Each structure stands twice: as structure tokens, then as C-alpha cells.
């Protein structure tokens, strides 16, 4: 018996699935599965986890500038990627105190958010209903299913959230 297969038998490890009944040779199907699995694993190890080029991206707080009016509609800044194109993006949204964002939805396949500061009031559904909003304090993580209608409110003061999604993104208001 070849030495490497003997070790597999000694420890009771039959990961190739071809050793029952004393068979000592690898079957062609097992060889193919093994080679495919090793190739797949090598691909995961060798593939860098960088989506925007080959350099790491760092943005210090003073480098992040929100765009938009200081009051009224939310201000936004894209921190990573491009939400209008396919691929991962990260953006921040600043809601001014008292801002109510009416029912809307986003087409993103994947969309998550974290409340960075303030308390965000979040409700789901096609109609605004203050009795259904839930308070999300700083540190809260939540996800938004694709095309799920929801609404937000910066009831107690300014709120900043960080959104991570897979673009292209957008915002569609629910028609009344």
C-alpha cells in the first residue's frame, strides 16, 4: 500500500472516498474532484481581497466631506466604490435633525447599514406610520432586503449611518 494512503487508513480518514474494501488506487473521478478542490482552494488563497486596484484605501475623518445642504435632505459621501456601478460600495449618509425620509426602497442585491451616531428611527412598509418605527441607537447594524419599502426619521437630532451595498444602487420613492 502506498505510504500516503496508509496514513489515511491509519487515522480512519477516507476523504477521497475510494478506499473501501481494500482498494489502494485512486479512481479517476476522485482524482478529478481532488484536483478541482485543490485548484479552488488555491484560488481562494491566492486571490487578493481588493476591489479597487492594488492599494489599500484609508480615509481619516477629516478626509470625509459630506455633500448637500446642511438642513433638509440627507447629505451623502461615497467612501469606497461607486454606488451607480456594479460592485461593492460604502457610503455615509447624514440626516439633519428632524428629517423624515418618506417610504422608499433600494434595488441593491445586498444592502446593510450601521448607525454611527445619533438615533435612527426606522420603519417598514409602504406608508409612514410613526407607531411602527423602531429606535436604532449608535452601533446598530441592520440589513435592507432588496426593494423592501421602508422609511427613516432623525427624530431626536442629527444621525449618521454607513451603508455598504452591492451596486448599482438607487432610491425609489413609494407612490401614494
- Quick: pLDDT tens for 33-46: 444 444 434 443 33
> Does 95 reside within a domain?
yes
What pLDDT is stored for residue 68 in this prediction? 80
Lowest mean pLDDT among 6-10, 61-65, 117-121: 6-10
Domains contained in the chain, number: 2
Q: What integer is the mean pLDDT of 142-153?
A: 97
If one counts every other C-beta atom within 10 angstroms of the C-beta of residue 49, the result is: 4
What is the domain extent for residue 34?
A: 3-46
The pTM assigned to this predicted structure is 0.69
Stretch 82-94: mean pLDDT: 97
Vertex 147: Cα angle to 140 and 110 (nearest 5):
55
Burial of 124 (0-12, 13-18, 19+ CB in 10 A): middle
The DSSP bridge partners found for residue 87 are: 167
52 band by pLDDT with thresholds 50, 70 and 90: low
CATH number (domain holding residue 124): 2.60.120.10
Please indicate, yes or no, if residue 79 is contained in any of the structural domains.
yes
Decide if 51 is inside a domain.
Answer: no
Beta pairing, strands 120-124 & 111-117: unpaired
- Domain co-membership, 105 together with 21: no
Amino acid at each position: 500500500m502506498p505510504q500516503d494512503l496508509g496514513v489515511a487508513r491509519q487515522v480512519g480518514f477516507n476523504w477521497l472516498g475510494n478506499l473501501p474494501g481494500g482498494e489502494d488506487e485512486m479512481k479517476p473521478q476522485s482524482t478529478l474532484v481532488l484536483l478541482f478542490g485543490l485548484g479552488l482552494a488555491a484560488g481562494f488563497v491566492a486571490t487578493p481581497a481588493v476591489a479597487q486596484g492594488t492599494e489599500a484605501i484609508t480615509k481619516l475623518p477629516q478626509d470625509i466631506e459630506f455633500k448637500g445642504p446642511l438642513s433638509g435632505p440627507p447629505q451623502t459621501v461615497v467612501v469606497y466604490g461607486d454606488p451607480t456601478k456594479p460592485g461593492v460600495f460604502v457610503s455615509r449618509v447624514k440626516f439633519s435633525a428632524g428629517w423624515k425620509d418618506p417610504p422608499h426602497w433600494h434595488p441593491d442585491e445586498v444592502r446593510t447599514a450601521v448607525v454611527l451616531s445619533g438615533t435612527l428611527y426606522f420603519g417598514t412598509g409602504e406608508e409612514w406610520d410613526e407607531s411602527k418605527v423602531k429606535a436604532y441607537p449608535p452601533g446598530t447594524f441592520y440589513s435592507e432586503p432588496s426593494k423592501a419599502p421602508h422609511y427613516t426619521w432623525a427624530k431626536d437630532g442629527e444621525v449618521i449611518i454607513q451603508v455598504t451595498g452591492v451596486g448599482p444602487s438607487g432610491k425609489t420613492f413609494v407612490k401614494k
